Structure 1
Amino acid sequence: MIDPHNLPKHVAIIMDGNGRWAAQKNLPRIAGHRRGIQSVREIVTFSRKLGIEALTLFAFSNENWNRPAPEISQLMMLLERYLKQELKTMMENEIRFRTIGQIERLPSSVLRMIRSVEEKTEKNKRMTLILALSYGGRAEMVDAVRRMMEEFQEEKISIKDLDETLFSRYLYTQEIPDPDLMIRTSGEVRISNFLLWQLAYTELYFTKTFWPDFRRKDFLLALLDYQGRERRFGLVTEQVSHPGIPRKEGSPGTSVKRLLEDLQGGEEREF
């Protein structure tokens, strides 16, 4: 039932529910995080197989620094171990690894591992895996404004230059297209300070499944739900689906993006 020509180019996931999964089974919270890594492995490799171009996983938020120190230490150890073990898989599947967030706050050993994996996978082009680490959407925008003000003071940019496109260049995701689909597991229905700017026109999908139980079937259900939606980006249905507007096979939104480009470029079309 999945249309391979109508897949999102970029999927973002809030991996939620590890702790509650463990609590339901009378296990320590770290057991939920360990099991969650299995879901990461499966969804990453499956996304690559499907041809999804970018996958962003919300792994550790700025707010998570307020958790008990032993849990944070265990999470950092699991992260370092995951990167070390999965480097071979990334290379074999031509997956580029990137991070977004205030990663300078991470332990030095984790930061070294991140830089090493980023460098080794830099030339991989088939898919990009982005981990949001020590990340917060509000902090990202504040950091963006700070960098813009610095360049304004250095007379590298002018206030007249400021628009949405320019602002996007100062975000952590400056070279990454906005997500087409955002998935959150565990039954929570909020975005929790995740990609606040980038999710403006993203389709949102919420599932009650805890992240440690989230597997291919659950991912396919999310994609199927996504493919049943019409993405208009502020236009009306007739503009999106009018037979006079040529459509290309590819990700959802391709025809809309081309239409907007034509309109901005002054090309005349009959509706």
Structure 2
Amino acid sequence: MRIYVQGRDEKGIGRIGFVDVDAGDPTRVLRVSPDPVLDVGVPGAFDDNGVFQTCVLALPDGTLAMYYVGFEICHQIRYRLLTGLAISHDGGETFQRLRATPILERSPHELHIRGGPFVMAEGGVYRMWYVAGSEWETLEGKAMPVYDLHYLESADGVIWPEAGSRVFEMNRDVEHGFGRPYVVKKHDGYQMFYSVRKKQPLGYRMGYAESPDGRHWTRLDEQMGLDVSASGWDNETVEYAAVVNAGDKTFCFYNGNDFGVTGFGVAELIK
């Protein structure tokens, strides 16, 4: 299995690479990309201060489409997150931007954040679940973004509407953000694995939802079954689940403390 990851340099700027692991034993690393497959954008672009991958999709022509998020440092707000698209013609060894501007640009209804996309091609359309937000609030003396999950459709995977429909409501008393969704299609509906950014304790936990059609979702967070550890690299936060099947096993790759500062981990579904 090839897992696309973001590696940060000494300044905290992220670039995208990959880690190949044994599908039968994903703790066994086979290869790590020596160079970024996608570097930061040109100065002044929406992705000039970091890029991070959220979804790679195989296209009918044999190429791979990477939907990624550009990190832009701002002055009046801390940062802005918008979505870009890059294409690989060599099996995922390298990616080239489709264009230097976002495919999800700022809009009147989604002003600061239009990122974290997960895209699925189905029924002749491209379906996207992503995070969007236009607000900030102060938590523990720090300005934090407010963002929730939205849904969009596109005919070509490149041109998308200016705003999507909200997936489900957030509990603003205890939550201020929903992190990148990861959607799995099952024979009887859809599963969504996402991250819930809590106000107390401040940080991410895992969320889980189910849907019959990918549009109408029921939150079932208590069924996720994966929380912080008692100690170690993921004892404060867990987030950004990616759930994949390998043979008769199901694995959940995820990040831990400080958005995965020390790497990523894997959990196996106990059936």
> What TM bracket, shorter-length normalisation?
under 0.3
Which is richer in helix?
1
Q: TM-score w.r.t. structure 1 length?
A: 0.25
**Structure with more relative contact order (C-alpha pairs < 8 Å, separation 6 or more):** 1
Which is richer in strand?
2
Q: TM-score w.r.t. structure 2 length?
A: 0.25
